[in-house]
Amino acid sequence: MSRLLNVLRSWLVMVSVIAMGNTVQSFRDHRFLSEKLYTGAPEFVNGLQARTFGIWTLLSSIIRCACAIDIQNRTLYHITLWTFVLALGHFLSEAFIYKTAPLTIGVMAPLIVASFPIVGMLIGFQCLPDSQEDVGARQKKRN
């Protein structure tokens, strides 16, 4: 396995563990979100929104951890990449379109955490082994 994929695996585990902590915090006290992320419109943050955010974060965490375990699974790799794209899109839209999350450290951190793995995972596609279906299709064409 390439060095890049090993670095990505470590990053995915680290991000997953941090996300688990954010999930717990979202369920414990919804003020966490209004004080750290959605400071532009804290009145929009309530318990329901915080729990929904927590479940979304937990799901992303599970997918990323599964990818770290089986990083050569192309389908899981694609889904994991999309978790970062969606997170980046969410935080960018909240910051620049809806103006609910001004660019504070609480928003910059998830933007950075989502951006680096997108670049790394796009580069990492070159390091993934060919899927079994691709190998089988090529062998049939040769025969």
Give tens-digit pLDDT for 18-72. Answer: 999 999 999 999 999 999 999 999 999 999 999 999 999 999 999 999 999 999 9
Query: Which two three-digit tokens encode residue 22?
Result: 């954010």
- Structural domain spans, the chain: 1-141
Q: Evaluate whether 38 touches 94 at the Cβ level (below 8 Å).
A: yes
pTM: 0.88
pLDDT at residue 137 in the model: 53
Q: Tell me the one-letter amino acid at 14.
A: M
Contact yes or no for 100/44 (Cβ under 8 A)? yes
CA distance 114 to 84: 5
Write out the two tokens for 122.
């796009």
Tokens of 66: 């599964």
At 135 the pLDDT is: 46
Position of tokens 């997953």?
A: 16
Query: Which distant-in-sequence residues (6+ apart) come within 8 Å of 49 by Cβ?
Result: 30, 33
Question: What is the rounded distance in angstroms from the CA atom of residue 47 to the CA atom of residue 8?
Answer: 33
pLDDT at residue number 129: 87
Q: How confident is the model at residue 131 (pLDDT cuts 50, 70, 90)?
A: confident
pLDDT of residue 127: 93
